[in-house]
Amino acid sequence: MQAEIITIGDEILIGQIIDTNSAYIAKQLNKIGVEVYQISSIQDEKSHILRAFEEASKRSNIVIITGGLGPTKDDITKHTFCEYFNDELVLDKKVLAHVEDIFQKYVNTPILEANKSQAWIPSQAITLHNEYGTAPGMWFEKKGVVYISMPGVPYEMKSILAVQVIPRLKDRFRTPYIIHKTVLTYGLGESAIAERIEDWENQLPKFIKLAYLPSLGRVRLRLSARGEDEQLLKEGLNTAVERLNRVIGDIIKGYEDEQTLEERIAQAFVDRGQSLITAESCTGGRLASKFTEIPGASAYFKGSIVSYATSAKNDVLHISKDLISKYSVVSLEITEAMANKAKAMFKADYAIATTGNAGPSKGDSDAEIGTVFIAIASPEKTEVHEYQFGKHRERVTQKAVNKALELIYEAILKN
């Protein structure tokens, strides 16, 4: 079963917004065994949309379109559908009542005719209720191909997809099972991992495919099992992962479909009733945001001191100017002092401190660009690690965050 995703909007093509909808839709389709054949973005231009519909219908069983459903003149998707299906717009009274209800409850301006126009739907369409907005989704069928149109607003699209589209697709088509297991690894690059697991990979059954998904400081190994027997797929994946653990268990830190590393860290702190503080320089608060993104972080995460400037290290963390003059702001000694000071100030069980020179110039530091120090202060001791993360500023910062997460997880497990 193949699908194609088409996003409509000039704002995507000029780089004004990023198309996150396609990635989300593709992921949800994959979960129900629908393979995405192609993704494309096109202009709000009738001829382009019609051509995209025609071409997609030759390749795929399912065509999903997002965007172009707003109340303004440049939103032409509904009119284009009418031309494509030789159809006409008719008033959907349920949609009109929903639009009027939204304006009455949540909008402080009178409802306009342009807003009411969103209740006019092609007569051949099945209306897909939009709980969070005024533009409904639409479901069409033509010569065995299903066309699904949804708003481009991400949270509206996600709701329609989950509540309306996915259940209908599962009823409409018989699809194979696809089960994924994503293994999170840290500390080795893609090539080094491939070399270590070559024999294991060669022994995978034919219904399991392996994909390497490298990112800064980590590599995800995604195992995908596809077939008709769900139980066989699950057993095959579990066996493959058990064997993989025997080969590279030292660098496996978790599984994406269970808990992320950040979630594992949070769980470890909560289970132990211990607390954490961060003191950040080169990471600029990004490390703290990794913890606060997890619901319930206040149960263990006390906060963060972003002492980016030298003066902040003096005034907030009370690190003496003499110590900084002696060792430089990017040094083992200053990073260790930051961790210890933050831990003591907040009476935390653990502290993480980061200093580094992310570039492009050396600034106040004598350290080479790409040099990063990460300190982990635990109840027993403080350890400082030095790394060289290259010369790309964004990559240096992200690698530092990823490595700090890895180090704190290892530290709390050891204790």
Query: What is the CATH number for 65?
Result: 3.40.980.10
Q: How far is CA 185 from the centre of its chain?
A: 17
Predicted confidence at residue 391, as pLDDT, reads: 87
User: Domain containing 191: what range?
Assistant: 177-255
Mean pLDDT of 271-277: 96
Predicted confidence at residue 320, as pLDDT, reads: 93
Overall number of domains in the chain = 3
Question: For 87-138, what is each residue's pLDDT tens digit?
Answer: 999 999 999 999 999 888 888 778 888 889 999 999 999 999 999 999 999 9
Rg (CA), the chain: 27
Summary mean pLDDT of the chain: 92
Predicted confidence at residue 20, as pLDDT, reads: 94
Mean pLDDT of 290-301: 93
Separation between Cα atoms, residue 239 and residue 236, nearest integer Å: 5
Residue 191 pLDDT greater than 90, yes or no: yes
Backbone angles phi, psi at 348, to 5 degrees: -95, 160
The answer to whether the CB of 334 falls within 8 A of the CB of 324 is yes
Residues 236 and 296 in one domain: no
Domain boundary among 232, 255, 278: 255
Separation between Cα atoms, residue 320 and residue 263, nearest integer Å: 36
Query: What is the CATH number for 207?
Result: 3.30.70.2860
Residues 64 and 198 in one domain: no
Cβ–Cβ contacts within 10 Å for residue 58, how many?
8
Does an H or E element contain 128, and which? Answer: strand 126-128
Residues 162 and 303 in one domain: no
Residues 137 and 52 in one domain: yes
Predicted confidence at residue 364, as pLDDT, reads: 64
Residues 344 and 305 in one domain: yes
Residue 274 pLDDT greater than 90, yes or no: yes
The conformation of residue 102, written as its DSSP 8-state character, comes to H
Question: For 359-389, what is each residue's pLDDT tens digit?
Answer: 887 666 678 899 999 999 999 999 999 999 9
Residues 283 and 385 in one domain: yes
* pLDDT band of 74, cuts 50, 70, 90: low
Residues 397 and 307 in one domain: yes
- What is the value of pTM for the model shown? 0.62
Residues 106 and 46 in one domain: yes
Give the residue carrying structure tokens 């057993």: 235
Q: CA 354, 249, 404 angle in degrees (round to 5)? A: 5
Residue 73 pLDDT greater than 80, yes or no: no
Predicted confidence at residue 114, as pLDDT, reads: 86
Residues 205 and 347 in one domain: no
Residues 31 and 16 in one domain: yes
Give the residue carrying structure tokens 């933050």: 342
Residue 247 pLDDT greater than 70, yes or no: yes
Query: What is the CATH number for 362?
Result: 3.90.950.20
Question: For 161-174, what is each residue's pLDDT tens digit?
Answer: 999 999 999 999 88
User: What's the one-letter identity of residue 238?
Assistant: N
